[in-house]
Amino acid sequence: MGSEWIHPNPGTDPAVMAAMIYELDATGKIDKAFLDKYTYGWVELRRYIVGEEDGVKKTPEWAEKISGVPAAKIRSFAHEVQEHRTMFMIGWGIQRIDFGEQSHWMLAALCSVLGQIGLPGGGLGTNYHYSSGGSPLSEAPFMSQIPSSVKPVRPVTKPWKGSKVLPVAAVTDALLHPGKVIDYDGKKVTYPEFHLVMWAGGNPFVHHPDTNQLAKAFKKPDTVIVTDIVWTATARHADIVLPACTAFEHNDITNIGTSSNDGFVAMKQAIEPQWESKPDYEIFSALADKLGIKQAYTEGRSQMDWIRKFYNDARQMGANLGQKMPDFDTFWKKGYLLFPVTEENRNYVAFADFRADPKAHPLSTESGKIQLFSPKIAGYHYNDCLGHPTYFQPTEGVATATKEFPLALMACKSRYRMHSQLDCTATRLRGTIEDREPVWINPKDAKARGIQNGDICLVKSRRGQILAGAVLTDRIIPGVIVVHHGGWFNPRQTAHGVVDVRGNSNTLVLDKPTSKLARGNLASTANVEVSLWKGAVPEVTVYDQPPRTIV
C-alpha cells in the first residue's frame, strides 16, 4: 500500500501533534472558519502552542528533540494531511501510558485545525478496533441486563467510612492505604478500609501495574473471594474460589457487535457443568439465599427466565420502534436474529449532523462544541492535566533512560489472546518461546547485550523482573522493547530473587494514575534492562492446578 511508519518515542505523540498544529498555524493553513464555528477554546490552546503560556514554542524542532521524529518529517506530514482528506484512526491502547489522555485530546485538536471533522473520510475515529466500532448501526433495540444499581435490601446499620465509588486503577493503593484522600475527576475521594474483596470476572493480577505490589495489597483484607472459570493468576491469590462454569455449560443470550447491534444470538448450553462448577447466576443466587435475600436478588426468576425477559423487553421496545421481532421460542429455536441496517446508516458519517447544524446537534461537552479548552478541567488546577491538551514527559521512558535501566517498555496486545483470556490454552504456544512471553528487541540493542533470537532473557525494572524469549526485529526502534500484555503472573524464587517466570509485562510497570482527572491505569510506562538469562530456566507453573485446602 506504500505505507510509511513514523515512529515517535513512546508517549510523545502529543508533542508531534502539537508541532503539526504549530506548523499549520505558522503557515496560515489552519481552518479558522471551522475553529470559530465548531470549537471552544482555540485562543487558549493557541497560547500554549505558540509559547505564550509557558515560553516554549511547540515547533517541529522542539518536537524532534522529544519524539525522535525529524522536524522535516513533522512539517511535511502536517501539510500532507492538510492537503488531502484525512481520517485519523486511534485506538485505546495509546492511553494506557503516563498522561495517556493527552494523545486523544491533542488529536481532536489537530483534526479541528484541519477542519475535516464531519466530512466523509475525514476527522477521527477512536474505536474501530473494538466490537464492530465504526460499522453501520442497526435500527433495532438494545438488550437490557440484570439491574446493577439497586438499593440495599437490608438497612445499613454501620456507617460507611470513605467513598463508595473508586477508580478501578486504584485497587492496590486503596487496599494498602485505607483513609487516604486522593483527587479524582474534580472531587476528593477517600479510600475505605476493605475487610472482604469479592472479584467476579477480570484478572487484576494481569491487568494491574506493579503486580508484585498488588500481591502484597491482596493480603491486606481479611478475606478475598474470586469467581472464575479457571485458575487465573488472580484466583491463585484468593482465600476462597467459587468455580464458575464456561459459556458452553449454561444458557445465555448476547447481542452481535457491541457498537453496531447487528442482532441477537442464543448461547445454548452445549454440555453439563463440569465437576463443582456452576453458572455465575446460580452461584450468586446461592450466596443470596445464605444471606436471606434470594427473592430480592432473583426476583423469583431462574436464569432462563431472565434470558426470556431480556429478549421480550427488547421485542416490546422493537415494536415501539416499528421493528418486528419473532416470539422468544421461535428465536431460541433458530438460534439467532439479524437486524436490518438502513441505507442511511450504511452511509453514516461521524459528526455530520453536528457539522450541518451545531446548535441543533450539540456535543455532550461543556460548550456543546469540540472542547479545545475546558474551563471546568482548568478549574481543578491539576498539574498533570491542564485545561487544554498538553505534552507531559512520561515519568519513565526514553527521556528518562539511565545506565541501570536504559530501555523503555511498551506493552501491546497479543494476537494470541484477548487481554489475559486464553493464556491458559494451547493458543499461547503459537507465540511463546519455551512457554515465555516474547520480548521484541531491536537487533542493535540485542547485539550490544549478546542476545540472539530465541534466547531466554531477564527483563528487569525498578519494580520487578520477568523472563521472556528474545525476538529480534526492526519493528521496534532502538531504545525500546515490547513485551505483549496478558501473560499470567507466575512469581518464583530464583538465584536472582523473585522472578515472574511466565512474563507478565505489568510486573515491570509503574503504578501511578494517568492523571488526577481520569486515573486510568498504565500498561506501557517503565524503564527496563534486558540481559541474557544464565543457568537452568525455571518451570512455568501458573497453569498447573494449585494445592487445595478444604476446610
Give the residue from 199, 262, 195, 249 showing the smallest Cα distance to 222: 195
d(CA 103, CA 90): 9
The architecture CATH gives domain 168-338: 3-Layer(aba) Sandwich (3.40)
* Cα angle 480-442-533, degrees, rounded to a multiple of 5: 90
Pair 102, 390: CB distance under 8 Å: yes
Pair 218, 224: CB distance under 8 Å: yes
Residue 379's pLDDT is 98
- The C-alpha cell at 87 is 481520517
Task: Find cell 507465540 and name the residue.
Answer: 431
Q: What residues pair up with 480 in beta bridges, in sequence order? A: 408
Q: Return the number of other C-beta atoms located less than 10 Å from residue 466's C-beta.
A: 29
Q: Do domains 168-338 and 398-532 have the same CATH topology?
A: no
* Cα angle 220-221-225, degrees, rounded to a multiple of 5: 125
For helices 13-26 and 42-49, angle between their N-to-C axes, nearest 10 degrees: 100
CATH number assigned to the domain with residue range 13-134+350-378, chosen from the 4 options 3.30.230.10, 3.40.50.720, 3.40.228.10, 3.30.1490.190: 3.40.228.10
- The C-alpha cell at 332 is 431460541
- The C-alpha cell at 368 is 456543546
> Which amino acid is present at 352?
A
Give the residue from 259, 308, 307, 302 showing the smallest Cα distance to 284: 302
* Cα angle 376-381-382, degrees, rounded to a multiple of 5: 105
Tens digit of each residue's pLDDT, the chain (551 residues): 788 999 999 999 999 999 999 999 999 999 999 999 999 999 999 999 999 999 999 999 999 999 999 999 999 999 999 999 999 999 888 888 999 999 999 999 999 999 999 999 999 988 887 767 777 888 888 888 888 778 888 888 888 899 988 998 899 999 999 999 999 999 999 999 999 999 998 899 988 999 999 999 999 999 999 999 999 999 999 999 999 999 999 999 999 987 888 999 999 999 999 999 999 999 999 999 999 999 999 999 999 999 999 999 999 999 998 889 999 999 999 999 999 998 998 898 999 999 999 999 999 999 999 999 999 999 999 999 999 999 999 999 999 999 999 999 999 989 888 888 889 988 888 889 999 999 999 999 999 999 999 999 999 999 999 999 999 999 999 999 999 999 999 999 999 999 999 999 999 999 999 999 999 999 899 999 999 999 999 999 999 988 765 55
Strands (E), 248-301: 252-256, 263-267
d(CA 443, CA 446): 5
Residue 548's pLDDT is 67
The DSSP H or E segment spanning 338 is strand 336-338
Q: 299: which residues sit within 8 A by CB, 6+ positions away?
A: none
- Per CATH, domain 398-532 is 2.40.40.20: yes
Ramachandran bin of 378, using left for φ above 0, alpha for ψ from -120 to 50, beta for the remaining angles: alpha
pTM, two decimal places: 0.94
d(CA 532, CA 396): 23
Give the residue from 253, 250, 215, 221 showing the smallest Cα distance to 236: 215
Residue 550's pLDDT is 55
Give the residue from 9, 97, 90 showing the smallest Cα distance to 506: 97
The DSSP H or E segment spanning 171 is helix 171-176
> Which amino acid is present at 313?
D
d(CA 431, CA 482): 14
Pair 268, 249: CB distance under 8 Å: no
Residue spans of the domains in the chain: they are 13-134+350-378, 168-338, 398-532
Give the residue from 511, 536, 515 showing the smallest Cα distance to 461: 511
- The C-alpha cell at 178 is 485505607
